[in-house]
Amino acid sequence: MAIHHMKMPKLGESVTEGTITKWLVGPGDFVNKYDPIAEVLTDKVTADIPSSFTGVIKEIFAKEDETMAVDEIICTIETEEEAKEVEEKQKYDTITGNNEINKENRQRYSPAVLKLSQLHAIDLAKLKGTGKGGRITRKDVQAVIDKKLTPAEAYKQPEIQENKQKQTNSKELIIPVDGIRQAIAANMVKTKQEVPHAWMMIEADVTNLVRYRDSIKSSFKKAEGYNITYFSFFVKAVARALKEFPEMNAMWAGDHIVQKKEINISIAVAAGDKLFVPVIKNTDEKSIKGIAREIKGLAEKARSGNLRMEDVSGGTFTVNNTGSFGSIQSMGIINYPQAAILQVESIVKRPVIIDGMIAVRDMVNLCLSLDHRVLDGLICGRFMQRVKELVETASEETMSIY
């Protein structure tokens, strides 16, 4: 009898795993092709997994809140032809009472589990699995590594964890790492290990920009219903500069560099204790008003858990509003596989020398992290000078909001 495997899909260029947050079907349920069968969460997006077949859900391998590597089998489906046979058997089982769940402990080792166990010389045969049907998951193997347990000790892992938590309650708090935080951590480690980061900072006098924005913010809010932020102007300036310096809008691809023609700016959005990086598509073609609307819409989607795949894919350059947290200088980790990330810091009033006299001006630091395989200091310096020029000369004539 033919059984079809449903695997964890790849939901982004740098996504390596996802967490099943909710199953929408169960064993024995009939599904049509393209029907959603589960909700999955990554460090970038929440998405539905559609069925690739029409048939009956045979077996589910991934538990809710379990993190699975891309291409790991999450469930099996019998095609429509075999589904009729299964349906008849289920009716028979219901009548005869023969509906006991098969508890056979089948060993299904995913590639991620095998690789991790071999790397750390762990005998999987001696390890108790917490997956469906006793299947050993990557989390089970990682628990042995993290706690330095022997496989025999790991067999009593839940009990050990419970006792450990009781022992540490008075002095420390154990916070489980969820799937999205693990995915973020894995991506950050990969980026820092693979990408030779370089860093530069430039200071900009944005007194004119502050005056311009402050003069229109009330009328804009009244007319449009949402705020016009400083960040919208910086994003527009970066988009213009990328148009003039396309070398910055590129990615490393091993034996060649891919220079992107579309300018799609990724922005970092915090949602609770999580960070999402949605994308403003074709940013250079949008007005400041349009950019502000996109930022507002994407932030609302992130905070309500409604970001879709199309909202987070295709980014070519990242601009991070670190100034919203009061930061005045920071070094961002590049959003792999992009070649650079620009941190826009807090605008602060500082005394500066102008024509030999001290004046109080609105100043901001712009901090750039770059992939030195793709970019050199010369082109990045020129790019940063152009961004500086654009934000320093911002006015209704040079940077109209419409």
- Cα angle 140-142-143, degrees, rounded to a multiple of 5: 65
Does 178 participate in catalysis according to the annotation?
Answer: no
First to last CA, the chain: 62
Strand order in 17-23's β-sheet?
46-50, 36-41, 17-23, 66-69
**Between 304 and 249, the higher pLDDT residue:** 249
**Which pLDDT belongs to residue 224?**
94
Helix (H, G, I), strand (E, B) or coil at 355: coil
Q: Between 277 and 16, name the one with better pLDDT.
A: 277
Of 83-97, 176-190, 371-385, the range with the lowest mean pLDDT is: 83-97
Distance CA 313, CA 262 (A): 13
Residue 372 annotated in active site:
yes
Model confidence band, residue 83 (pLDDT cutoffs 50, 70, 90): very low
Residue 25 or 344, more confident: 344
Domains and CATH numbers, the chain: 195-392 (3.30.559.10)
Tell me, what DSSP letter sits at residue 269? E
Q: C-alpha angle with apex 141: 136 to 145, nearest 5 degrees?
A: 165
What 279-282 contacts at long range (C-beta under 8 Å, 24+ apart), as own/partner pairs, is: 279/311, 279/312, 279/313, 279/314, 279/315, 280/235, 281/314
Reported as a single tens digit per residue, the pLDDT across 362-388 is 999 999 999 999 999 999 999 999 999
- Summarize the confidence of residues 316-343 as an average pLDDT: 93
Q: Could you report the per-residue pLDDT of 305-319, keeping only the tens digit for each? A: 788 878 888 999 999
Predicted structure pTM score = 0.65
What's the pLDDT at 132? 60
d(CA 347, CA 343): 12
Q: Which residues contact 89 (CB under 8 A, 6 or more apart)?
A: none
Mean pLDDT for all residues in the chain: 83
Q: Which one of 142-146, 175-179, 199-203 scores highest in mean pLDDT?
A: 199-203
- Report residue 47 as tokens: 């998405």
Active-site hit among 65, 93, 123, 376: 376
- Residue 82 confidence (pLDDT): 47
User: Which has the minimum average pLDDT: 95-104, 150-159, 193-202, 364-373?
Assistant: 95-104
| Backbone conformation region of residue 370, classed left if phi is above 0, alpha if psi is from -120 to 50, else beta | beta
E strands in 112-156: none
Q: What pLDDT is recorded for position 103?
A: 38
Q: How long, in residues, is the chain?
A: 402
Average pLDDT, integer, range 81-87:
50
Percent of the chain residues past pLDDT 90, beyond the cut: 47
